[in-house]
């Protein structure tokens, strides 16, 4: 079996390892047909998770087909979050917040490989004929949909008439904008500092593009901010750009270093809410929205061979990628 191995900061190699075999009774072997590079994978690659053990196989955004058991051949999308299924949060459907959860690509070998072992309950049947590269977007699309659903509950006056600013034109930012557009939101702006990504975002949807490298978004101009970056700088932008009574949804986890004006947050009754991954329902809904084309034609993704994974990570790290998402194909 071939896999992409993370060996330490800026060290990624493509090499041969022993084939996988299902261990526990609830596990099945899945042939990976497409796997996306997530911002969290890049975060590890850059050495921002020093506690991460090596060597490791990263990757968790994937689609493939079952290789073992009675459903052999079935195309599937992988839910990488393995929850306990027994706690109060799991019982309420909020499996993303289960404190006993583990994750494929973190606690278990990930999807940057020919094959991966997955609990059968973490597999979602993929519609026949669906492009696996599109299906591999299910995980980030579910994250975006989860965030927009939290925003809809927090906003006064409904989401359709909200003026929205999305910070960051990576896959989460673009998919958030596309999900909002599918909900009927018309006033959407995206701020992005990378010129290549700005150009890609401009060709993806009918929204305003702000050059984040030169221009700050107008102050207090938006009802809803989706922060898909999650840095000190992006939090400062979000808290400056949101209007009184507005909502900031914080998805990105670039750093944990301030950027929040608590006085303005309080005096203007701004809602600052974290949005962490997705529920199982969000994941299923995302897959069907992608299949129906509700989130656009997805022409903004780029596919590369898994063997080219080390170069893909280097290019992403250097900011040389226009595409909002790189999908690796074994």
- Assess contact for 324 and 169: CB atoms under 8 A: yes
pTM given for the model? 0.94
- Assess contact for 111 and 105: CB atoms under 8 A: yes
The CATH architecture annotation of domain 143-274 reads: 3-Layer(aba) Sandwich (3.40)
**Which region holds residue 158: left if phi is over 0, alpha if psi is between -120 and 50, else beta?**
left
Burial, 226: exposed, middle or buried (Cβ in 10 Å; 0-12, 13-18, 19+)?
buried
Q: Which of 127, 126, 108 is nearest to 118 (CA)?
A: 108
One digit per residue, pLDDT tens: the chain, 330 residues? 999 999 999 999 999 887 766 666 689 999 999 999 999 999 999 988 777 788 999 999 999 999 988 889 999 999 999 999 999 999 999 999 999 999 999 989 999 999 999 999 999 999 999 999 999 999 999 999 999 999 999 998 889 999 999 999 999 999 999 999 999 999 999 999 999 999 999 999 999 999 999 999 999 999 999 999 999 999 999 999 999 999 999 999 988 888 899 999 999 999 999 999 999 999 999 999 999 999 999 999 999 999 999 999 999 999 999 999 999 999
- Centroid of chain to Cα 225: 17
Helix (H) or strand (E) run with residue 242 in it: strand 242-250
> CB under 8 Å to 328, separation ≥6 — which residues?
4, 34, 35, 36, 37, 59, 112, 303, 304, 305, 306, 308, 309, 312
The full set of domain ranges for the chain reads 2-137+298-329, 143-274
Contacts 24+ apart (CB under 8 A), 47-51: 47/8, 47/9, 47/10
Domain 2-137+298-329 matching CATH 3.30.470.20: the answer reads no
Do the domains 2-137+298-329 and 143-274 sit in the same CATH topology, yes or no?
Answer: no
> CB under 8 Å to 259, separation ≥6 — which residues?
231, 232, 233, 234, 235, 236, 239
């Amino acid at each position: 079996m071939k896999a992409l191995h993370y060996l330490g900061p800026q060290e990624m190699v493509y090499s041969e390892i022993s084939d996988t075999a299902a261990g526990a009774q609830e596990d099945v072997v899945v042939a990976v047909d497409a796997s996306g590079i997530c911002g969290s994978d890049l975060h590890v690659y850059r050495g921002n998770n020093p506690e991460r053990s090596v060597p490791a196989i990263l990757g968790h955004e994937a689609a493939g087909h079952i290789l073992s058991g009675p459903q052999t051949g079935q195309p599937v999308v992988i839910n990488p979050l393995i929850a306990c299924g027994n706690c109060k949060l799991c019982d309420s459907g909020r499996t993303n917040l289960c404190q006993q959860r583990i994750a494929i690509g973190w606690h278990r070998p990930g999807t940057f490989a020919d094959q991966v072992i997955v609990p059968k309950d973490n597999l979602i049947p993929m519609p026949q004929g669906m492009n696996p590269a599109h299906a591999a977007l299910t995980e980030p699309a579910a994250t975006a949909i989860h965030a927009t659903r939290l925003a809809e509950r927090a906003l006064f006056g409904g989401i359709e008439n909200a003026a929205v600013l999305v910070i960051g034109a990576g896959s989460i930012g673009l998919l958030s904008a596309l999900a909002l557009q599918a909900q009927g939101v018309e006033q959407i702006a995206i701020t992005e500092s990378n010129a290549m990504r700005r150009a890609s975002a401009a060709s993806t949807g009918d929204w305003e593009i702000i050059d984040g490298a030169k221009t700050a978004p107008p102050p207090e101009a938006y009802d809803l901010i989706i922060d898909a970056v999650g840095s000190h700088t992006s939090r400062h932008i979000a808290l400056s750009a949101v209007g009184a009574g507005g909502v900031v949804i914080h998805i990105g986890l670039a750093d944990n270093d301030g950027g929040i004006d608590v006085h303005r947050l309080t005096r203007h009754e701004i809602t600052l809410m974290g949005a962490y991954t997705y529920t199982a329902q969000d994941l299923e809904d995302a897959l069907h929205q992608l299949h129906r084309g509700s989130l656009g034609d997805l022409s903004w993704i780029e596919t590369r061979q898994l063997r080219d994974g080390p170069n893909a990570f280097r290019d992403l790290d250097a900011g040389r990628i226009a595409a909002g998402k790189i999908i690796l194909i074994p």
